[in-house]
Structure 1
């Protein structure tokens, strides 16, 4: 099936006379949170390797794109076709090792396809695009401009540190980043002993930023890694509660010592 039936459906939902009252009442601002939610659900389906759910969640995410594009078209700003045209042009521009400027294929062997060289080229092209967008504006472009504030904080921390690294502001050895994490942990402990709540919040933020930086140096997505940790904790906590229940103990009535004993048993069982 092509995209046309979905575009027609969206137009029908937004029809002022016969459409859905809820859909008609929406604005890009009012439905913006749903785009974030649907993107997270796509990622969740990928992590669970649920192919059917991934298909459905990709559809939900595409619906958000079509929804925003329809409202923009109604306001005379741009159309869905403009969205497609813009991303095609951007991908051609950012892949000069694959496409010529007119979109035709680059002959094999005519340019480098080394992955590291391609990554550096991508970064340079994006930097040139940011500089081009800033021309003519009253404020000069900052070195960290363009990193979305709406990103999850951990993901944004990784992107901020990655951007800073393109200017040479970075460690060369992951061991140095580990030392920085330890330093920040000590500063959290010092704030706990002598600081205010605001001091603690700032120092914990520094610690989390350093951990995100460490993940980047190790080639690990910090959001993915934290989600693995979340799932592990959820799995073990649920198993701990089940183990207590077998012994006739409700989680609500268990002492910390009893829970820790059951937790250790769960970890040991997982190890086997």
Structure 2
């Protein structure tokens, strides 16, 4: 079997595009100049790719996915910016992925092994980690950072410049306007608020009872004890001496520009 790209006769491929070995391009797909699609990627019908865009191996674009479009930012003036996608991601129907802006670092970046379900939107200058699931109609505004193993339920979204920490879970319809700490579960329906830790997700990923107990204790310090953030942070610093997970939580709290979701 040949490793040459398999291109449907109705697809339009710019001469400046680069296709890896074993790539398949479906009917009526459009691949523009300065687009690189890695080995083994599968592009379904009616997908469109604009550059500069770099896509790693093993990704699947199911149908009508719009990849590498100009950022939806009035300050964008046509400067060279990029979209960079890692490996083995799945992009379902009508997902939209925008390039970065010069003012936001110039790159929108998506990691490895993510699932972005129908109508999800990743705006300019977002950074998405690995092993995330974005359910239908997930929406990230510009400059949002999402960690690893994050699950975002349907019709949920994040305000620009927010961060969502590793192993967080956003419920259906949750709209967050502040930073979501690692391990935190955010309740759905309109303005999201913390509702405990993502215990079930942590168990599935191999966290033992001792680690989960330490994370629960840290959550209670931050959200249940009624402490001012500065005082809660002092107690977390003590807890972090015996827990790398609490240290990770504390480092997240100290590293943000937007207020912590509380």
Provide TM-score, normalisation by structure 1.
0.25
Q: Which has the higher helix share?
A: 1
Larger Rg: 1
Taking structure 2 as the reference length, the TM-score comes to: 0.26
Higher strand share: 2
